[in-house]
Structures are given as structure tokens and as C-alpha cells.
Amino acid sequence: MNRALNNQMKHFDSKVFPVIAILAALSMIFAAPAAAAPAKHAAAPPAAALPSASTAQPQQSVAADSDKTLAAMQDELDRSRQRLELTIAGNSEPARPYYIQYRVLDLDVHTIVAEFGALISSTSGRNRIMSVDVRVGNYNLDSSNFISDEGFSGFLGSTGTVGIDRDYDSLRQDLWLATDQSFKSAVENLSKKQAFMTRLAKAPSIPDFSPATPAVSIDPLREPDWTTRNLEQEAKTVSAVLRQFPQLHSSRVTYHLIYTTNYLLNTEGTKIRANRSLAAVEASLETESDDGMRLHNFLAVYRQRPDQLPAADAVRKDLQLAGEQLITLRVSPPAADYDGPVLFEAPAAGSLLAQMLGPSLSGARGPLAMQSSFDQLMDRLGGRSEWTGKLGTRVLPPGVSLVDDPTTKQFAGQDLLGAYAVDEEGVKGERVQIAENGTLRKLLMSRRPGPDLNMTNGHGRAMYLGDPRPLMSNLFFTSTEGQSPADLKKKFLDACKQNGNKWCIVVKEMDNPVLGVREQDDLSEIVMGAASGAASGDRLPLLVYRVNPDDGSESLMRGARLAGLTLRAMRNIAGIGTDVTPFNFTQSQQAGFSGTALAAFGSADSGVPATVIAPSLLFNDVEVHGARGEPGRLPLVPPPPLN
Amino acid sequence: MIRQTGAAAVKTFNLAIVVTVFSVNAMAAAGKPAHRPAPASPPQQAAQATPAPALVTLGQELDREMPILSKATPAAYFIGYTLTSSQRAEVMGSNGALLASEENRSRWLETQVRVGSYDLDNTHKVGNSAPGQGSFGVAVPVEDDPGVLRRAMWLQTEKQYRAASEALIKISTSREVQAQTVEEHAPDFSREQPHVFYGPEISVNPDRKPWEVKVRLYTRAFRASPQILNSIVTFSSLGENQYHVTSEGTRLQFGQVHYRLELFIQGKAPDGMDINRYYNFDWTNPADAPDDKAVLAQGQVLRKELEALVAAPLVEPYAGPALLTGRATAVFFHEVFGHRAEGFRQKDINEGQTFARKVGEQILPSFLSIYDDPTAKTIGKNMLLGYYPFDDEGTPAERVTLVDKGVLRNFEMSRQPLTGFPRSNGHGRRQIGAQPVSRQGNLIVQSSRAVTNAELRVKLVEEIKRQGKSFGLMIDDIAGGFTFTGRGQPQAFQVQPLVVYKVYTDGRPDELVRGVDIVGTPLVSLTKILATGDTMEIFNGYCGAESGSVPVAAAAPAILISEMEVQKKETSIDKPSILPSSGHDPKGARP
């Protein structure tokens, strides 16, 4: 988010921001729990004030290099832990922090944007941001997980940009002020929270914070390599291929190259310096059909490291295909209403699962909010975990196994986007068997306990120092009952005939409007529409084909929308393929929408990378709505020559 | 208001609200247009005969669009395109370390389509509803590519035309249009002569490396003071070429350069009050950059002021004589007079203070005259940041006499006419992405009752005695409404005295006080000016208002006011830090 500010916003070029701006009020409520979320449930150590200094400093060693970041963090952390206290009127004991956590994120980002072969912008910049979390109280009841009626006034100051020199003095100065702010806010928050809880009939019993095993992991100091490829030239070269489609109204090809170093230190003894990176090619293509329907296509390629990005030739071919698809879509017939079997080919199935399952994988509970509107908003945006309280019950078809595993680094020879060693709370990532033989076993956990589970399993994830939340990493959806793609297709066509349909529907690609749509008004409308329909199972497909059940011939349709694809529908999946395929995407962190359906629509500059590895899926009963609404008027002036 | 420091100077922010904050700041970042050096009377002087390729392309697409849209229903009667090509670099340091060092190039296209007629068009304001006009525009290739630029123009034109058509239909069917006041019945767009001017294109490529060393050096020096909690020094350079074409025949191309160095420090008084000090250097010729000695010396002045303010007592409520130094006066006039003389405010029924019906009336003492002169590049050796040859509607800048010998004569006018003021005088300005409205350029206050600054001080003491007061006030620095904080929304007209001394009549030294708030309407103070000093002082800054942030200058001599009422400002509830900073911790930095 911060990098977008530096590199994108100067060009008004980030598409997500205006959407969010429209949701400003909303985002504030969502963003508020930056240090606030769940509560209740038993069992967590009552934890006295602070762990002793000895537990806070295990075997760790400061890396022997010029980076003074961890040293500055350690010294300021120790000084704060030992000496920060605030006397509160009426209390004999002064308030002291029981937990302090420092996070610093070093961002080195290069963003290149090209359109039809011409460079729109090329920006690079290094920034560092910090986030300080000071908690008062104890693990069972602390200053977090609470949204007071004053919104987030108390949060100002605990985050901010800091110097990029990796020096000692300036970082201590910045951490000192942020710690002071964060501590004072925590004291105030806890007293407000306690006052609020006295008004509740039943105080929440879920603890506020789960203990975690301290982890120490210091990656070597790394200097990003920007020199191996001329990506500016590549962006121009690949985007020029779209010039052959004069029917396109606009196009954008963006190369995102992101190197980060994440630092984390806490009073429990965790000490992390972790290098990460992400590289992406994202493209949007827009046009209009002759009857005035706005249409788009997109391309998204994600890799862990910039040098892994496909060569220009390969990207150019992909863009050419995307262009051809959109041109075909332009002249294809509008979709009609439909009710019946729908086959989601991998990787469209992966995208569908990302949207459908995402919100329900989290076992953390929401924050205690003084206003109930928060819960309602979460619901409306598909943020309600429907799997809460369902451990041990069947939630998926028999034979299906659902595993989230950040420790698996590769699949079929390809690096997986969601792999990591430690999460954003400094906890080692664990393989989690979410469902076994269709039965729900576990949920993804951060250090924020939930109604069903207390302990973290290393899934507290965030980008740009956002509030860590349980998010998927590498999600594997497999079945012992899988069928070959040919068998699945046959099953689908048979179901089709049996149903008496003259034609049926195959979805080959799901939409990501955040990547595909540049016009802000359109994007806001689409994204909000999709998010508000998430609870009732509305999903946005991109490439939808009509299939003739007799001869299997396929033809594109435009303007279709899917409905009724709720989590319940997952229990009755009619067929599952064996063609497991990775689907890479980034889960949006914009304004804290993680954990809602909105989060499924992300972009490289704003998201938490993840991979869903899933096969083709057949649903027997899906509603498809055809194109709705009046088509727009066509431009009065014909397009100017592009070449 | 004058915003002394860019929002970027505020280092600490809440990530949670970064989205909202930066959608605002994005404009600041991409903006800062205008003030472009070019020949003093541009239309007469064809500096460079050849139009740039970008300008040619703009003209070509305009010539294709206009014939079609002018025959559509409703008909477009005006289409204008502005392409702004920017090169910017920024180097920021904080507390002795580098915060950021970045540069980028961008080109931004803005499109305006007006439907209806000059007398009644889609921008017509009905009641409280301002019809949405224009958009932020769109980024276009930084290199000349006629095909891609024209495609962007085509899409934007279509979008603007649709929005304008819808707006006009709503307006023409509105019953309220029938019942509008005299002010509101002025035409919506003024008729102007087209202008053709091809100036030389400029280019700026500063070496950021030396500045990275400098910003570390300058901010490290502030670490010596325990009272300075945070320091930010920012070097920025901006080179901007603007290309402007309209269906009326205007073809403009001109470039401008601006370098700036800003010093900003923050502290806290024992009661929690935030204390900030700020200073900026501005120059257009790289050779005029301030040297280390000059910057460090200015840093020491800021440090001393901040330390003195941290220790200073709070002001007590007071009404009596006050002397404003030239710099403070300049800001004061910009805020309390200059904004009210912006033409578009006279039309807006929401603006409480209107000058519309006061033209020809005495509003200031007769020894004061005020003009706004964007054609002036300097006063003495000082550059004026509000200089530009053409405004953002393509109208040549003009020197406008706003007040002549105390009598209100004119307004800063854009192409939005007022009854009795049918023409623009070249003050239609905007930050990139916003619609131009009438704004200030270089606001200059002149006095025919000037005494030396030393004599003015004597007069202050005399006035204090005459009124039987024990002390008077000397105000040395004033901030505009939104200075420093970068949070919330701009509030035009607000003034906040920052450096205020009590001046005694018995020979005691002046005493610094803090927390001064001006009571009542500051405008009233302007009628109570007794005399002025004889030395013009200049304030350069970025002024934020309805059309975004634009570079401006204000120049004025010191003034003596017979009565100004002040009160104690409410203090922040944010108390000083519990621990001292590690660099000044008596118990040692390391635990």
C-alpha cells in the first residue's frame, strides 16, 4: 500500500485506490482493528506483565553486517520494556506493557507501465515503514481487539515511514516516538474496553492473544538485482503486440518488481530478518461491443522473483491470446439466463475457490466493536466465516482434502507464491489440514484466538505491515474421487443432456475486475456489486462458453453472471477433476479488506500472494444471469487511428 | 490558505487511513503546476516558432473531435486539452537518515468539453449542487506516440461529452434556474481572444546524490537538540512543460522550472502543545541553490525558535495594538483578503463573506493598495513563486488592481464571469487534475503611509501607551489554516500566529509567548491598520483551495494594527513522551 503511494499515486494510476476512496467510511471501520480484533474462549496463559529479559533474548545473534536495524529495534525495545509506565488516576499500580512488537518493512519497488508499446511510467523507489504494537493487560484481556466509538484516533503515530539508511540513531528516534504513542493508546484503549465490557450481559471469553514459540531467523543482507533484464524495454515490446487490435479502447501492461525485507522483533524473543520478493506482469484490455456493452480481459502472471518472470516472447504470446479472446468476446452473443450444470475448468476453479473459501478459512473472531454496524458490514462483504463452529462436520464432498501449506515451496517444478518460513507475526508457517475426507478439521489461525481454536498455526499474513490475519498461502484442493478431464467433461455433458438443456456452460476463466477494468466508476460498481453479492453466492466469470452437449462444440458468450455459488454449494460438487493446476493471485489488503470476498480481487502492488492448487470442478445446479441493464451509447466520434 | 509544507513532510501517518489520506495527497504529488517562466509579455514574443510534436497531436485530435461534437445534440461549443509533462525529483531526509530519494517522469492529459453556450452551459451552478465537471484526467505516454495519445484523448472526450450532456439536461430542466439571483445570472464562460505561443521546452535533471548527503547532514544537525522530536528536510525539483489547445484557436506551449528546499522540525511543549517550525528556500536557477552554510544557519534559527517556544508561556487573552512583520503580513493578506477577492467566491451562495456588492466602496485604509501580479518574476532579488505567463485556462496573466487607495476595484478572475466582470484576467488556476477556478498569483500589498521598520516599532510602543496597555504584540510568523499537519481538510482563510512576542513599553526585552489564537473575523483587523513599514517581505508557498494546490507568493510591508484580539489556543491532549529520546537519555541509550 505504501509503495503504491510512492510509485503509483503520483500518476493517479492505481486502480484500487479510487474504489477504496468510495468506500472511505467503510474502510475506516475495517482498518480500525489494526490492533483490534477478537476475544473470548478459555485457555491461554494469564501472563504476568512481561517476559523476563532472559526469555526475550534467546540464542539470537545480530547479523554481522552493516545493517543496524535489528540492533536499534532491540535496544529501543529493551529500554521501553524496562522503563515504560504510566500512572493512571485511581490505580495503585502503574500500567506497563506486557507485550511489545516492532515491525519494519524495507520496500524496494520498481513499477513499469506501458500501453500499446509506449512507456506510460517507470518508477522506482525505496521506502521503509514501521509498525509498533504495544499491548497492556494480559494475553486473556488486553488493549487489542476493540473498536471504540472514537474510531482510530489512538492509532496515529504508531506507524510511519522511517529512514532507509539501515542506520541506528534515526530508527531509534522514530521507534521511540511510535512506542510512546502506541503505549498511551493501548492504556486508553484497555480502559475503554473494560468500561464497555461492564455493559455487556456476558463478557467475551475468547482470549485476546495467543502465546507463540519465539523464532529467530536472520536472512543474509540482500541487495536487489535490477540489472539483469531491461524490463522497461520488455514492457514496451510486449504491450506493442496489442496494437494489432484497433478495436481495443485501451490497454495497460504493468510490470511490478517488489523486493522486501521484513524485520520483526518482540518482547517474547522473536527476532526476524526475512527477505521476500514478488514479480508480476499485469495487463488490462478494454473494449466495447457494437451494442454498447463494456468488456474487458486481463492477464496476470506472478512469480516469486523478478528473474523468474517469463521472457518477453512468452508474455507477448499471452497478451496476443488475451487480445484475441477479447475481440472474440466483443462479437459473441449476449448471455441468456440459464439454470443447470456448469463446469469450471482449472484454473478458473482455483479462482472460484479463492473467492468462495477465502473468507471461511479464518478461525479468528472479529473485534469487539461498540457499534454493531461493523459486523453487518463484514457480513455484507462476504466476510463471515461460515465454517465457524463446524469442526468435525462435513463441509466438502467426501474424499476431498483441503490443505493450506506455506512450507511447500514448489508444485510441478514451479515455485509456489504462498510459500514462507515465518508469518507476519514471526511465527513459523505450518501445514494445516483444513478438511479431510470432506470433514472440517482445522482453520487457519494467527495469534488472534477464535471461537474454535486458540493457537496460531503461522498464518498471520499481511502486506505492507497491515494487521496480520489468517489468510491462505498455498491451498491444495484434492480428491480421492478425482476423474480425468475427459471423464469429467463426459459427466458434464451427460448431466447436461439429462437436464434437457440445449446447451450448457463452461467457465474457462474467472474475472478479476481490479486488474481488468481501468475506468474507476465502472470498477467501483463491479467490485462493490460483487462484494455485496458474495453472501448470496454471486461470482464474476470472465470467459464463459456455451457448449453443445451433442457435439461438444463451444462458443463464447458475453455478460454472464453466476449466482448461488455459496459455500453450501461446495458440499454437493458433482464432479472433481485430477487436473490440479496452480492459480496464482494476490489477496487484497486494501484498507483491511482481507478476509472478505473483496480480498479476492487484488493486484501485485496491494496484495498478499497466494496459490490455489485445484482441479476442474463440476457444479450441477448453478444459476447464470444473462446481460442486464440498458447498453451504453456508443461513442459519437469513431476511434482515431492507432498506428 | 498558504500551505507552507507539502503533505509529504508529515512523516508519521496511520497506515490504516493511508488510502484516504493519499487519495488527497496524490493530487499534491502529481500537482504543483503553474508558475512557468517565459517572456514577460508572452503573446508579443514568439520565442520559438515550432510547436512540439505533442502539441501537434493535440491539435490533430481536436480538429477531428470538434466538428462532430459541435453538431451533436446537445452541441459541444468548447473543447480544450491540456497536456502536462513533468519531471520531478525528491530527496527527503529525517533525523540524520535518508527517508526517500526518487524521481519520475509523467505526462498527464486533461480534457474539457462544454456543451450548451457561453451563457448557459453544463457547468452552471444550480442552488447548492455543483455539477461535476471534468475529471482527474489520465496518464499518457511519456514519449511522443501520436496514436496512443489520440486514443486517450478520444476516450476522455467521449466521457467528458457524456457527462456534460447529462449535466446540461439536468440544468436546463431545473426550475431553480429561473429564480436565480443577479450574481448567478452571469454567463458561465467568458469569451476570450485565442492566443498562440510556442515557448522553449525545458528539462530538469538534478543530481540527487549530493542532495542525499545534504539532507542527512541538515537533519543530523537537529539531533543535537533534545527539544526537536522529529526533523524532515526535503529537496525537490520540478520541471514542467505545458501544452494547451482549445477549439477557440488557442495553441500554447511553455515550460517552467522550480527547485525547493524545505526545513521542518517538530517539538512539544511540556503541556503537550505541538510546536513546529518551517522554512523554505526557492530558486529557479541551479546556481542559486542555498549553500550548506546558509541552510545550517537557517536551521539554527529554527532550532532556537522552537526551543524558545517550547519553554515559552502561554499567551493570556488580550486586545490591543499589534505589529505584524512583513512576512507575517504577507500571509495574513493572502489568507484574509486574497481569498475573498477570488472571483468565483462572489458567485457562490455558500460563501458567507462576499465582496460582490462592495465594488467601489472603501474597504481598507486609503493608504493601502493591493494588486495581484502573476507577471512579476521577482521583487528585488527574491523570486516570486506565483509567476506564470498564461493561466490554466490559456489566458495571459494580468496584473490586477484589486484595491486602489482602499477602494475595492476588481477581483481575481478566471473565465467564470461575474455580473459587471465579463472577462478573465488570467487568474484561472488549478492543480493538475482539478478544474481551474480564480486564484491568487503574486498578491502584493503597497502602502503610501510607510515609515522605516524601526519607526514602526516606535509607533507600536506609542500606541500601546496611548491605549494605556502594559504591552503589545509583535507577530513574526503566521501559518495558513492547514500548515504543517497534513491531516483533514484545508480550511481557507484560517490564520494561526506561530511566533508572537509581547512588546513592553518599559524597555524590558520582548517576551516570546505561544498558543496564540486570533479572535473574531481577521478581516476586521485590516480596517484598523494605522501605518506600515517600508520594506517588502515575500512569502512563497503552495496555496490549497477548491482547485487544489497552486504555487503563490504574497508580498507586503510590516503593518501596525490598532487593535487585535487574541486568546489562548486549546492545547493538544497528546502529552509529551514518557521516556526521553535515546540520544538524550540521562540513564543511557542502551538498557
Nearest to B223 among A80, A169, A466 (CB): A169
Specify the range with the lowest mean pLDDT, choosing from A64-73, A236-245, B56-65.
A64-73
CA distance A165 to chain B (A): 6
Interface test with B, best of A3, A8, A10 (most B CBs within 10 A): A10
CA distance A592 to chain B (A): 8
Q: How far apart are CA B261 and CA B92, in angstroms?
A: 10
Instruction: Please tell me the predicted confidence (pLDDT) of residue B39.
Output: 35
- What does the DSSP 8-state code read for residue B397? P
CA distance A196 to chain B (A): 22
Q: How far apart are CA A250 and CA B159, in angstroms?
A: 14
Given pLDDT bands bounded at 50, 70 and 90, which one contains residue A2? very low
The answer to whether residue A182 scores a pLDDT higher than 60 is yes
Give the residue on A whose Cα is nearest the Cα of B32: A10
B155 close contact with A: CB closer than 8 A: yes
Nearest to B583 among A119, A173, A640 (CB): A173
B279 close contact with A: CB closer than 8 A: no
Instruction: Please tell me the predicted confidence (pLDDT) of residue B569.
Output: 83
Q: How far apart are CA A285 and CA A253, in angstroms?
A: 9
Interface test with A, best of B11, B12, B19, B144 (most A CBs within 10 A): B19
Residue among B344, B495, B364 nearest B412 (CA): B344
B397 neighbors B553 (Cβ within 8 angstroms): no
Better-predicted residue by pLDDT, A158 or A107: A107
CB pair distance less than 8 Å for B14 and A152: yes
DSSP per residue, B32-86? --------SSGGG-----PPPHHHHHHHHHHHHHHHHHTTSSSPEEEEEEEEEEE
Q: How far apart are CA A133 and CA B338, in angstroms?
A: 46
**Which chain B residues have a beta carbon less than 8 Å from that of A31?**
15-17, 19
CA distance B297 to chain A (A): 22
Q: How far apart are CA B316 and CA A456, in angstroms?
A: 56
Interface of A with B in 97-126 (CB under 8 A): 113, 115-126
CA distances from A395 to A343, A387, A436, A567, B554 (A): 20, 8, 10, 8, 70
Instruction: Please tell me the predicted confidence (pLDDT) of residue B289.
Output: 96
The answer to whether residue A158 scores a pLDDT higher than 50 is yes
Instruction: Please tell me the predicted confidence (pLDDT) of residue B350.
Output: 53
The answer to whether residue A54 scores a pLDDT higher than 80 is no
CB pair distance less than 8 Å for B143 and A249: no
Q: Using omega within 30 degrees of 0 as the cis cutoff, is the peptide bond preceding B141 cis? A: no
DSSP per residue, A188-218? HHHHHHHHHHTTSSS--BB-S-------EEE
What would the pLDDT profile of A250-308 be if each residue is shown by its tens digit?
999 999 999 999 999 999 999 999 999 999 999 999 999 999 999 999 999 999 988 89
Please say whether the dihedral angle defined by the alpha carbons of residues A480, A485, A490 and A494, taken in this order, is positive or negative: positive
CB pair distance less than 8 Å for B97 and A169: yes
CB pair distance less than 8 Å for A164 and B93: no
Q: How far apart are CA A622 and CA A560, in angstroms?
A: 12
**Which chain B residues have a beta carbon less than 8 Å from that of A168?**
none
B63 neighbors B85 (Cβ within 8 angstroms): no
What would the pLDDT profile of A5-51 be if each residue is shown by its tens digit?
333 333 323 333 333 333 433 333 333 333 222 223 333 333 333 33
Nearest to B15 among A7, A34, A125 (CB): A34
Cell 543511557 sits at which residue?
Answer: B588
Name the E strands within B269-338. 274-283, 318-324
Instruction: Please tell me the predicted confidence (pLDDT) of residue B349.
Output: 52
Interface test with A, best of B10, B11, B13, B18 (most A CBs within 10 A): B18
Specify the range with the lowest mean pLDDT, choosing from A69-83, A165-179, B333-347.
B333-347
Instruction: Please tell me the predicted confidence (pLDDT) of residue B178.
Output: 61
How close are the terminal C-alpha atoms of chain B, in Å? Answer: 46
Interface test with A, best of B11, B15, B219, B240 (most A CBs within 10 A): B15
Interface of B with A in 516-575 (CB under 8 A): 574-575
CA distance A184 to chain B (A): 9
Instruction: Please tell me the predicted confidence (pLDDT) of residue B48.
Output: 59
**Which chain A residues have a beta carbon less than 8 Å from that of B26?**
5, 9-10, 12, 17
B110 close contact with A: CB closer than 8 A: no
Interface test with A, best of B14, B110, B219, B238 (most A CBs within 10 A): B14
Length of chain B: 591
CA atoms within 13 A on the CB side of A199: 7
Task: Name residue B217's amino acid.
Answer: L
A86 close contact with B: CB closer than 8 A: yes
The pTM of this model reads 0.88
Per-residue exposure over B241-275, b if at least 16 CB sit within 10 Å of its own CB, e if not: bbbbbbbeebbbbbbbbbbbbbbbbbbbbeeebeb
- Reduced 3-state DSSP string for A84-138: CCECCCCCCCCECEEEEEEEEEEEEEEEEEEECCEEEEEEEEEEEEEEEEEEEEC
Instruction: Please tell me the predicted confidence (pLDDT) of residue A501.
Output: 86
Interface of A with B in 250-269 (CB under 8 A): 250
CB pair distance less than 8 Å for B15 and A159: yes
Chain A / chain B CB contacts < 8 angstroms: 251
CB pair distance less than 8 Å for B153 and A164: no
Nearest to B106 among A121, A171, A643 (CB): A121
The answer to whether residue A517 scores a pLDDT higher than 90 is no
Better-predicted residue by pLDDT, B354 or A245: A245
Q: How far apart are CA A188 and CA A228, in angstroms?
A: 51
Residue among B375, B574, B507, B466 nearest A157 (CA): B574
Q: What is the pLDDT along chain B (591 residues), one digit of tens a residue?
A: 454 443 333 454 333 322 222 222 223 333 333 333 333 344 444 455 689 999 999 999 999 999 999 999 999 999 999 999 999 999 999 999 999 999 999 999 999 999 999 999 998 877 655 545 555 799 999 999 999 999 999 999 999 999 999 999 988 887 666 666 655 678 999 999 999 999 999 999 899 999 999 999 999 999 999 999 999 999 999 999 999 999 999 999 999 999 999 999 999 999 989 899 999 999 999 999 999 999 999 999 999 999 999 999 999 999 999 999 999 999 999 988 898 898 888 876 555 546 778 899 999 999 999 999 999 999 998 999 999 999 999 999 999 999 999 999 999 999 999 888 999 999 999 999 888 999 999 999 999 999 999 999 999 999 999 999 999 999 999 886 433 223 233 444 568 899 999 999 998 999 999 999 888 776 778 889 999 999 999 999 988 877 888 999 999 999 999 999 998 887 666 788 999 999 999 987 776
Interface of B with A in 10-29 (CB under 8 A): 11-20, 22-23, 25-26, 29
Interface test with B, best of A164, A520, A594, A634 (most B CBs within 10 A): A164
Better-predicted residue by pLDDT, A618 or A607: A618
For A2: left if phi > 0, alpha if psi spans -120 to 50, otherwise beta; the answer is alpha
Interface confidence, given as ipTM, is 0.87
Cell of A636: 459519437
Length of chain A: 643
CA distance A195 to chain B (A): 21
Nearest to A120 among B95, B141, B585 (CB): B141
Q: How far apart are CA B520 and CA A189, in angstroms?
A: 37
